[in-house]
Amino acid sequence: MSFGDPNNPYGPPQGQPQGQPGGYGAPQGQPGYGYPQQGGQPGQPGYGYPQQPGQPAYPAAPGMKPEMPGLMKTARVLLFIISGFQILFGLIAGVAIGAAKDVANGMETDAADALVGLGYVLVFILLALAVLSIVLGVKFSTGGSGIRITTIVYASLGILGSLGNLVQGGGGSATFGGIIMLAIYGIILAAMVNSQASAWFNRPRY
């Protein structure tokens, strides 16, 4: 087997095969450009910045305040509307009872005084319910599950009262008012038993 012309000055020296150190061929198994070949060339950090594993590219933005769902906003507005009706009816009833008291004083009967006293109790209940409606509506933004449960009970009692007005109204103004209030309380109750209400009132607070 011939290894080329021995007189060729460009060939490898005699007795030394090509590919060995000292020859003109590329040496086999020799590391390239001074990098140690230990399981591949080691990774280089980018431009001198240390690479910390698990570090996010940007700092997390501070959490934004969650927005109240649309159903909760609707129920809140309806509570304020109910409180306005209750205050209006209370004032009208108070004026009517005051006029009835003047008539009762002229009659000087115990039955008339008892009716006037009962009327004032009803006015007080209406105004107290108006305050409760306002408090519940205001607490929708910060309250917890207690506000939700109270609103459910309140709306349920309102539905029962509206049904009573429908039965006893006899097709008059009380019946019409009962229909309106029944619809309002029904919407509030439906909003409170919805999954959105559960998620809103049980949300974490920081």
CA pair distance 20, 36, nearest whole angstrom:
19
State residue 191's pLDDT score. 94
State residue 29's pLDDT score. 47
State residue 13's pLDDT score. 54
Span 86-115, pLDDT tens digits: 999 899 988 888 887 777 666 666 666 777
State residue 108's pLDDT score. 61
pTM of the model: 0.64
Parts of the chain with a pLDDT under 70: 1-64, 104-112, 169-172, 206
Domain layout of the chain by residue ranges: 70-201
φ, ψ (nearest 5 deg) of residue 73:
-65, -40
Span 39-54, pLDDT tens digits: 445 445 444 444 454 4
What is the gyration radius of the CA atoms in the chain, in angstroms? Answer: 44
For residue 33, the SS3 value is: coil
CA pair distance 130, 80, nearest whole angstrom:
8
CA pair distance 97, 14, nearest whole angstrom:
131
